[in-house]
Chains A and B, each alone.
Chain A
Amino acid sequence: MINPEPLILTLKLAGLTTAILYVVGLPVAWFLSQSRMRLKPVLEAVLALPLVLPPSVLGFYFLLAFSRQGWLGGLWEKAFDHQLAFSFDGLVFGSVIFSFPFMVHPLQAGFNAIPRNLSEASYSLGKSTLETLIKVILPAMKSSILTGGVLAFAHTVGEFGVVLMIGGSIEGKTKVASIAIYDLVESLDYNSAHIYSAILFAFSFMILLTVYLVNKKLDIR
């Protein structure tokens, strides 16, 4: 039987990354949809960079920043007493940045699709910005919220290059499923590679199918 650890690690990483991205991504997407500032295109371009950069480029820079000598890695080690590079925390860090546009773009599109009238109607009914956001705007963009979460989750599951660069392949710590498959193929253990691959394949398909089914239902209403 295969070792389930890489699969569990993958789910843990993707789940944590998605949760963090909701917390960080919602305010950023909201800000971008409201902002009229001149530098907005620059900010948007920076945030979309992970879409186009080769994962190895990102991974290389992350590695420099996360290492003991790097600015972030140095601070991290002082605060938490372990190295950020080649640790699970480092993977979460990298994944959050790498999957950022996959969360923020659908959310930003969702915010933009809501007519300004709705929030103005809510304000003039005496409701604060926060209450308007929670009770009026977010419920009206459920499908964007779902899409953002699923894309970020799925993208993190499928991530390879960045994880390999900043995580290495440490059993039980940073060896996620995609890397386990690579290692197995390298050692010519095609049987185990098949099992991992089939599981990821089926899992990804199920997620996407669920999204399309749920979104169809949301659209109908």
Chain B
Amino acid sequence: MIQLSVQKTLAGADGPFNLSVDFVLPSENLLTLYGKSGSGKTTLLRMLAGLAKPDSGYIKVNGKTWFDSSANINLSPQKRKVGLVFQDYALFPTMTVRENLRFAQESNNEQKVKELLELTGLAALSNRFPSTLSGGQQQRVALARAILREPEILLLDEPLSALDQQTRNKLQNEILKFHKRFKLTTILVSHDKQEVFKLSDTVALIDRGTITRNGTPREVFFDKITSNKFSFASTILSIRKVDCIYLAVIGAGNELVEVVLSESDIETLKVGDEVLVASKAFNPIVIKL
């Protein structure tokens, strides 16, 4: 369990603002921090990792105090068991994939390295240098390296935002798989609503340093719809007029769906909008594959 209450003055693009965040995150949960860039999400992750110091407050992880301004406690990054994954992977360029993974271990356990290499599908690449890998492969190495640290929190700072949609989907599944398999407590920073829906147990909306809403992704993003039977988050790819109705093509993951929209829908929706497609009473055909 993570208990956090931190305050810090940050220099924003339009003047300084106060980062002031409190939350409690139960173990094995996945929390997403969602918000505009410059709202303090990354700083929050850095504070958890010990790379930035709050002005005041406390951070407690599984009963241990990592930071407490009133007691003058501030554990160094080395003493906090954190798995950190950056947007640009931050792999050590002079080490092979296997050496990158070994570096994360306190005592060498080749069996575990092997297990993770196989789980991430990196076994065949284990002697390659990071610069010879694709973005998706590099991020897999970074993820495996963070997990080998045996972290009490896994911190993912926009880990997939530099990757293409297909790779992103695959890696989202892997993040979810690892999160469950290793019973991790995970905090993810993301800009991508589909990703938030797919991965998070809870999401916190951050705006200029404060959490404005939090709850399940559905509660936070779509508070009006409460009892849909079936829904998915997606993006409007195109809208065209056919006779008196409008047809919108909506992308959900790798699938494309065509949906009928009315004149009044068109007034509020445009191409590129992120939407929730939901159906309250419906009768889908289910066919065994």
Q: Given A135-B103, A221-B129, A221-B131, A124 and B94 touching (CB < 8 A)?
A: no
Interface size class of B (residues with CB under 8 A): 20 to 34
Question: Is A139 touching B94 in the complex (CB atoms < 8 A)?
Answer: yes
> Chain B's nearest CB lies how many Å from the CB of A11?
31
Which of B51, B88, B129, B149 is close to A126, meaning CB atoms less than 8 Å apart? B149
Which residues of A are found within 8 Å of B76, using beta-carbon distances? 123
Q: Which of these binds chain A: B78-86, B172-180, B234-242, B249-257?
A: B78-86
Residues 77-91 of A contacting B (Cβ, < 8 Å): none
User: Which one of A36-44, A114-122, A162-170 is at the B interface?
Assistant: A114-122
Task: State which residues 120-134 of A face B: CB under 8 Å.
Answer: 120-128
A135–B103 alpha-carbon span in the complex (Å) = 9
Note all chain A residues with C-beta closer than 8 A to B79: 126
Within 8 Å of chain B (Cβ to Cβ): is A146?
Answer: no
Using A125-B145, A221-B131 as known contacts, say yes or no to A118 and B78 having CB atoms under 8 A apart.
no
Is the pair B78, A117 in contact by a Cβ cutoff of 8 Å? no
Q: A117: which B residues are within 8 A, CB to CB?
A: 86, 88, 90
Asked if A124 and B82 make an inter-chain contact with CB atoms under 8 angstroms apart, the answer reads: yes
CB of A200 closer than 8 Å to a CB of B: no
B26 within 8 A of A: no
- When distances are taken between beta carbons in the complex, the residues of chain A under 8 Å from B106 are 126
Decide if A109 is an interface residue (CB 8 Å cutoff). Answer: no
Q: Which of B145-181 contact A (CB under 8 A)?
A: 145, 149
Chain A to chain B: the 4 pairs with minimum beta-carbon distance, closest first: A117-B90, A139-B94, A123-B77, A121-B90
Shortest Cβ distance from residue A122 to the other chain B in the assembled complex, whole angstroms: 7
Structural contact, B80 and A122, CB atoms closer than 8 A: no
Q: Does B121 contact A (CB under 8 A)?
A: no
Q: B49 — which chain A residues lie within 8 A by C-beta?
A: 120, 124
The answer to whether A120 and B149 touch (CB under 8 A), given A126-B78, A140-B94, A221-B129, is: no
Within 8 A of A (CB), among B36-66: 49-51
Q: Identify the closest chain B residue to A135 (Cβ).
A: B103
Closest to A142 in B: B94
Answer yes or no: A209 CB below 8 A from chain B CBs.
no
Q: Which of A127, A135, A142, A221 contacts B78 (CB 8 A)?
A: A127
Closest residue on chain A to residue B155 by CB atoms: A124
Q: How far is the CA of A120 from the CA of B103 in the complex (A)?
A: 14
User: By the criterion CB–CB under 8 Å, are A120 and B92 in contact?
Assistant: no
Q: Are B84 and A121 in contact, with the CB atoms below 8 A?
A: yes
Q: Closest approach, in angstroms, between the C-beta of A179 and any C-beta of chain B?
A: 42
Contact with A along B178-213 (1 / 0, CB 8 A): 000000000000000000000000000000000000
Do B90 and A120 touch across chains, with their CB atoms under 8 A apart?
yes
Q: A123-B51, A125-B104 are in contact. Are A136 and B92 (CB under 8 A)?
A: yes
CA distance A40 to B27 in the complex (A): 46
